[in-house]
Structure formats: C-alpha cells, structure tokens
Amino acid sequence: HRIAGGETTPISEYPFSVALLTNSGQGSYTHACGGAILTNNAILSAASCFYTNQEANPVSWWRARVGSSGSNAGGTIYFINRITANPGFSPTTLANDIAVIRTTLAIPLVPGSVEVARVAGAAFTFTTNQINQDQSSSAELRKVDLYVVDQQTCTNRYNEIGFTVTGDMVCAGWLDVGGDSGSPILSDRTVVGVFSKSEGCAQGWYPAINTRLAPYLSWVVSAAYA
C-alpha cells in the first residue's frame, strides 16, 4: 500500500490488495505491511512483517483491512487468528521471507474491490478448498513499475554491508517507506513475488529485495488451506 514514488490507484485495479495493520501490542492499529488475498481467509505477505527484534509477534497485534485503497480508512477490518511464517525464515538474514496469515472470519468476495489474487503456477479459489497447482509515504494504495536488477550486481552491492542475497531473492526496484514489506510483486497482473526489504527509503544504490514466489508455491498452497 505504501510505496516510494509511483502513482495512486483505486482498489478496483488491484482488488486483492490488503493493508496489514498493527498496534505493536498497544494503542490503535495503523498500516505496517501489505499483502495479497489468496483465499477467503488466507493472505500472502512477508514473514519479516510479523517479527520485532527477531521475536515473532502475537497474532493479537495484527489486523487486515480489505476492500479499500486507503491504508488507514475504509473497507473492512478482519481479525487475524494465525500467522504462518515459512519454517526456513530467518529474521536475521531474511532468508525465506514469506508468510501466509489467516483471518478469523471469511472474507466475502466483492467484485471490483475484494477479489482473490492470481498467483503464478496455482489457481486459488475464493470460497472452496479446491486448488489446481500447475513509496514517498502514502496512506493510499499506490503502484510503481519495477525493473529487475542483475543478480550479481545486486549481490555485490549488498555484500558491501554484509547482507547475503540468496537464490530465492530477486532484486527489483527501489522501495520501502516502512509499509512496503509484504506487498505483492506482479508480472502481467500475476503475483510472482513478495517485497521483503531495501536499504533505506528508496535509496538508489541498493535495489529492493523481493522473495521469489515460485520456490515456495507448494508451501504457500498448503499453508493457505491448512
């Protein structure tokens, strides 16, 4: 929802987009991460969203806002009852930075504002358990074109600061104003990755790190329908 640059866009253009809100254990809930609707109660995001000081957050810290282009207004807010980080996730190295969260109540389909995401290599259904496998800061939903950065170039740059770029990561774009993490990376309107991190807010030297979805597809499927 919050990206560096880009342009505002209505929820009808990306109706699977979710704003994930946290209160960090106290106070009101505000936007912290993005996500994409997989099923009527499963949302794809980044595991790193749900860790503070390398400790997993309680589910009570989190809510999901769907059906709104505003990160902190509109739509419907859902309670979260499960956060499933990939078992290989490391909050230190950000390896395997992908997660599936589950809402307590089912999310009703609303054509044009609440729809399931199209995921590369899988066809999720919104209401059944069947599956066929094959920003300057803004409170509004925004989109931006990302350009893939050569993996070796990205690796070399991050080596300068002691961060290891692994094969499950793809370097694309320059993002992050504190609310980009977990947002879906799209190719032809199909989710192919999840935004993980960048060094600073849209710095020009260090590309954004994104988690490739393909290596985790089977795990995402099982977590979404567990």
Domains and CATH numbers, the chain: 7-225 (2.40.10.10)
Q: Please give the single-letter amino acid code of residue 82.
A: R
pLDDT at 226: 85
pLDDT at 122: 58
Per-residue pLDDT reduced to its tens digit, 1-33: 334 445 567 777 888 889 999 998 888 998 899
Element (H, E) at 225: helix 217-225
pLDDT at 84: 98
pLDDT at 144: 56
pLDDT at 105: 95
pLDDT at 142: 55
Cβ-based neighbour number of residue 162 at 10 Å: 6
Q: Given 3-state DSSP classes, what are the helix, strand and coil percentages for the chain, each rounded to the nearest 5?
A: 10, 35, 50
pLDDT at 59: 96
Whole-structure pTM value: 0.84
Tokens representing 27 are 């106070």
pLDDT at 184: 87
Q: Within a 13 Å sphere around the CA of 78, how many CA atoms are in the beta-carbon half?
A: 26
Report d(CA 159, CA 195) in Å as an integer: 19
Q: Please give the single-letter amino acid code of residue 85.
A: A
Residue 140 DSSP label: B
Residue numbers in the chain where pLDDT is lower than 50: 1-5, 123-138, 202
CB 150 within 8 A of CB 124: no
Cβ-based neighbour number of residue 115 at 10 Å: 19
pLDDT at 3: 40
Radius of gyration of the chain (CA): 16
pLDDT at 139: 54
